[in-house]
A and B are shown apart, each in its own frame.
Chain A
Amino acid sequence: MQIDIRTDSVKPVRQTFANIARRLGADKPATRYQEAMYDLQPETSFHYRPLWQPEYELYDKRRTAVVMADWYALKDPRQFYYGTYVNTRARQQESMEKNLEFLEQRGLLANLPDDTRQLLTGTVVALRHVEWAANMNNAYVTAYGYGSAITEATMFHTMDRLALAQYLTRIGLLIGGTTAVATAKDAWLNAPDWQQVRHAVEDLLVVQDWFESFVAQNLVFDGLVYPLFYARLDSLLACDHGPAYSLATEFMRAWHTETTRWVDAVVKTAVQESSANAALIARQAYDWLDRFAPALEPIADRLFGADAGDVLAAVVLPLETRLTALGLVRPGAPA
């Protein structure tokens, strides 16, 4: 008996979902990200208006002053959907776990000199409360934002912030056990050099416009905190105490570089949409920059002593350059 082998191809009736095909302009294969992101936002037929906000629908574009013709333009360049996000973070979590284990076995943080441990407890470990606020702010953007392009990414970002707070807690525990974590909380609540920052962070928690929350938290405040605590402080500590702090904060640096791409892409798209958006977002960004940068001065003094002014300037200047590159012009400045 002779068997003939021949290939037979089955052509799928369609390449992707109809809504994706309409967006792509043709029925062609779409990426998983596109299929998992586009058009998930409920848009019509809401039964009730929220009792606490009867002027808005349950999901409403007017909850921010930023206006977009298509909210799905705020895409994530990292193309995170559940699968890619979880895989990426799982890999990072594994290497971070190894780092922390390495630090714990050799007592590298616990054996730092007393004054360095106190410094880290009162400053870096206290940042866990900043991360919690960032978690709340991004949860707010996720809840009240519009379009699954942005809210999907901010939900991932919300979880990231929880993880960052937990890493900072772990660092606190390695430095000085539960006492260190309690001391950090006390510093956040009572130490005079934190109070301006805490005041600004708490004011940011009650901002109503979700896009302003996004800009103030993810663009401006993170744009100051991450370079200051995880780049500048890292180089300072590396001189005297070796790479223990670098190992403990490796994820923070990698994560900030990665999310910067996304934050910049979102803001740039919104700015390019219209000059009204550009003016509005510029005002939000520079208002918060002028609030946060001076608020960080006392903490910078404590960390960097006499160099504090220079260090802070070296953090603020690149951020202003970044804002300008995104098309954000300081209100009142010559264009």
Chain B
Amino acid sequence: MSQQPVFIALQANEDTRAIVEAIESDNPHATIQHFPAMVKINAPGRLEINRATIEALIGRSWDIQELQLGLISLGGNIEETEDQFLLAWR
């Protein structure tokens, strides 16, 4: 699998804070950059966002599509299921 970097950029707000926290704990290889009003997360090869991790953080059920509400941009091929949003190059 390619090790080319993938990235996701989210608005920095109350709703995406838990998402960033979840990405941070599920992707130890990722680097997180905080910009004014934006958080950009880079990772070589692969980046995963897991519904279960976010639900544990916010204490309610969370639809993976809620990600779109705070999404600015992303780079990589997307593989999306009900439980996971996966970014990778293939």
Contacts and interface: CB of A to CB of B under 8 A. Distances in A.
A71 interface: no
Given A29-B17, A32-B14, A8 B59 contact: no
Given A7-B36, A9-B36, A79 B17 contact: no
Interface residues of A, number: 13
B59 A77 contact: yes
Given A8-B36, A9-B36, A78 B17 contact: no
Interface of B: 14, 17-18, 35-36, 58-60
Contact of B59 (A7, A9, A29, A76): A76
Contacts, number: 20
A8 B35 CA distance: 10
Looking at B18, B35, B59, the one whose CB has the most chain A CB atoms below 10 A away is: B59
Given A29-B17, A32-B14, A79 B60 contact: yes
Interface of A: 7-9, 29, 31-33, 76-79, 84, 88
16 contacts: A7-B35, A7-B36, A8-B36, A9-B35, A9-B36, A29-B17, A31-B18, A33-B59, A76-B59, A77-B59, A78-B59, A78-B60, A79-B58, A79-B59, A79-B60, A84-B60
Nearest to A77: B59
Contacts of A31: 17-18, 58
Nearest to A88: B60
A28 to B, nearest CB: 10
A174 B7 CA distance: 56
Nearest to B58: A79
Contacts of B17: 29, 31
Given A78-B60, A79-B60, 5 more contacts: A8-B36, A9-B35, A32-B14, A33-B59, A78-B59
